[in-house]
Chain A
Amino acid sequence: MRFEFTTEDEQFRSELRTFLAEQLPDGWTGPVDESSKDGWALNQRMRKALAARGWLVMHWPEQYGGQDASSLRNIIFAEEMAYHRAPGNDRFGTRMIGPVLMFYGTDEQKSKYLPDIAAGGIQWCQGYSEPDAGSDLASLKTRAVRDGDKFIINGAKIWTSLAHRADMMFMLVRTDPDAPKHRGISMLLVDMKTPGVEVRPIYNMAGSHSFNQVTFDDVAVPAENLVGDLNNGWRVGMSVLNYERSGIDYVAWGQRAWDELAQFCRDETGPNGLPLSADPSIRRKMAELDVEIEGARLLAYEVAWSQQQGEAPADVASMSKLSGTLANKSVLDYGLQLLGMYGVLESGSPHAKLQGRFFKMRMFYTSGEILAGTTEIQKNLIAWRGLELPRV
């Protein structure tokens, strides 16, 4: 065992930090509000800059423009991007549909889409959840019916992040309503400008427009946009989730919040005239949170390390996602306690402490324990896959 990265990996981390310091606006604290025009422009600029550095798809094979970067190198990238709250890390394209196309896609699909993803020139969104298909995703109902050289899609997707910015959607549709529910699903690629696609914003409880409802009314999609075999979409679609379930983003967000809170405690004076960081109860809680973050970080590293060994430990990925989201939430909860009356002054208010960020983040990251498999679903998976407990 060895609990340190190689010198080369550490060197990459420091190059990336330098790059981020140069590219992000002065005094950048993030997180970016991608619903704003400026926020989205920054996202696009950062993405192009990452592509120019060769980092956007460094985890891809060389034949597709990547560098065959290791899973561990990759997790350093994700960790630093999240820690710096840097926009531009294109999850849907570079981490989800890109790798899916490499494995399941046709040659035409690969040559049509992969270069654009690698260049940071296309935005994807993920059409999985439906109003009546959340945790029970396999019960999805959006229909696609073959009609000559096209599929005709009717139905609705919901909670679709970035649909309002997206050029393309990869979506799961029901292509055989008579088959058992996991076996009648297929994956299709849909141009968001196709007639009949309508995107309606949903504002989240943090007040921003991050996701949407997308409806499909007789949307005609070329049959060549089928990914993988007809009715094999469950397998194709699930292959993206192990990436989604690495908890490193949450760990890094939690670490950043912890660091900001620690600095706040060093700078602020309590009622006894001493810095908050000298208060034994605060020291104790901050130490506990640090332990929680570090434990979650090692699980995220374990996911990456196992992938590097050619293993795909579904139970560890679930542990990592669960631990990461909880650790992040714990830090934000405690931050709101420490900030007290000032913590609930919203961003932009005079007198708000830490720019009202903790409140906004706490509201926003309520989603962490829900999206990509709720905490409860992760526990089911750990019990079934890791411990082989019986399913009834």
Chain B
Amino acid sequence: MDLGFNETEEMVRASAQEFLEREAGPELARSGDADAFWSKVAEMGWPGLAVSERYGGADMGLVALGVLIEQWGANLGRGPLFEFSVLVSPLLEAAADERLKKEILPRLADGSSSAAIAILEQSASWRPEDIRATAVKTDNGWAITGTKHFVSYGDEASQILVAARTGDRPSDVSIFVVNREANGISSETVNHASGTPTTVLTFNETTVDVFRIVGSENEGWPFVEALMQKGAAFRAIQLAGLGRHVLDITAAYVKERKQFGVPIGSFQAVQHHLADMAVSVRRVEQLARQAVWSVAESSPDAAKQVSRAKLAASELIPQVCWTAHQCHGAIGFTQEHDLHLYTRHALSWAVEFGDTAAHTDRLADALEL
């Protein structure tokens, strides 16, 4: 048992904190130059942090990536870091055709291009039977038809990971990596509460080369499961980072803000709000780090730990934000104040990669109920 950071983890944490506090934060989230920021992120080597060296990455592993994502959450980092590093790259490394890996991984790892995932449909469900988009075999590959919702960075990305139905059984789903420039892709922009560029992508007989299927035909669902699990664990750690930051700014505020001639942080009612926030944040931090560690180690308990972490993070961190609003009073209710930016992200992350109902069900299964 070691609840501290090792040397590598501490190095990643410190450099991420230093960089992101300077370059990211509320200003970037509001109106910053996202492209310029992303170039700097690429210079830091972060897109390739957990990618193997042979594909141009730093091969530092998923736990180090988790440490980075915790800071990314604390400082509202922008850009498709999560999409590629957490979701797409481990999947491609594990199962994609060598030709595909060589073609796209190095450019993704150095940040010169980016990736998005297009799995969910109108149902917003993570069950295989709810994948309705189809991929049909053609002479030289596949043709994908269907509509994908909630695609983050769907217009900015150069590669899109798509789940499509290739057979009649519920789990007959396959995974494809589609070039964003391919034929038949149209997009519709939706306004996401977090400010993340989000689109609905429609594929109309979009042509996909045969080597762009990931793994075998009809055997893509386990990859989606693994991707969702990683997504949930890393969203939990991202929420932990966000929660810690919201706690910090709220503690600073109540020490400074005076009413009745004293800082409001000297009132017990306010102190107990802050203490509750501190306990929630600490619990989520530990649960989320445990979840990321379990995923990185392929622990037999990973399913349990991930659902626990995601459930705790999704319930407690939005609560931490609401309590922070209460402690800030009227100023925290304004658009001008930064607090709502964190709340918007917390509410968005809380429902991604499995909402409370989905993870409750998974956890109950894992607990043999």
Contact = CB atoms under 8 A, between A and B. Distances in A.
Interface of A: 1-6, 9, 72, 262, 265-266, 277, 280, 282-284, 286-288, 290-291, 294-296, 298-299, 301-302, 305-306, 309, 315-316, 319, 322-323, 376, 378-380, 382-384, 386-392
B200 to A, nearest CB: 31
A319 B282 contact: yes
B83 to A, nearest CB: 24
A288 B4 contact: no
A378 B255 CA distance: 20
Nearest to B292: A1
A284 B360 contact: yes
A277 B368 CA distance: 9
Contacts of A266: 368-369
Secondary structure dominating the interface of A: helix
Secondary structure dominating the interface of B: helix
Contacts of B312: 291, 295
B3 A301 contact: yes
Contact of B255 (A72, A294, A306, A390): A390
Interface in B307-357: 307-308, 311-312, 357
Interface centre among A319, A379, A387 (most CB of B within 10 A): A387
Contacts of B247: 387
Interface in B82-125: none
In this complex, the interface size class of chain B, counting residues with CB under 8 Å from chain A, is 35 or more
B278 interface: yes
Given A265-B369, A380-B275, A389-B254, A299 B286 contact: yes
Contacts of B357: 284
Sorted from nearest, which 4 A-B pairs have the closest CB atoms?
Answer: A383-B271, A379-B275, A283-B364, A295-B283
Contact of B286 (A302, A387, A388, A390): A302
B43 interface: no
A275 to B, nearest CB: 9
Interface of B: 1-6, 9, 63, 247, 251, 254-255, 262-263, 265-266, 268, 270-272, 274-276, 278-279, 282-284, 286-287, 289-290, 293-294, 299, 305, 307-308, 311-312, 357, 360-361, 363-364, 367-369
Contacts of A277: 369
Interface centre among A296, A383, A384 (most CB of B within 10 A): A383
Interface centre among B294, B363, B369 (most CB of A within 10 A): B369
A276 B93 CA distance: 43
Nearest to A275: B369
Contact of B1 (A280, A290, A301): A301
A390 B308 contact: no
Given A306-B3, A389-B255, 9 more contacts: A283-B360, A283-B364, A291-B308, A295-B284, A299-B283, A315-B278, A322-B279, A383-B275, A390-B263
Contacts of A299: 282-283, 286
Contacts of B262: 390, 392
A3 B266 contact: no
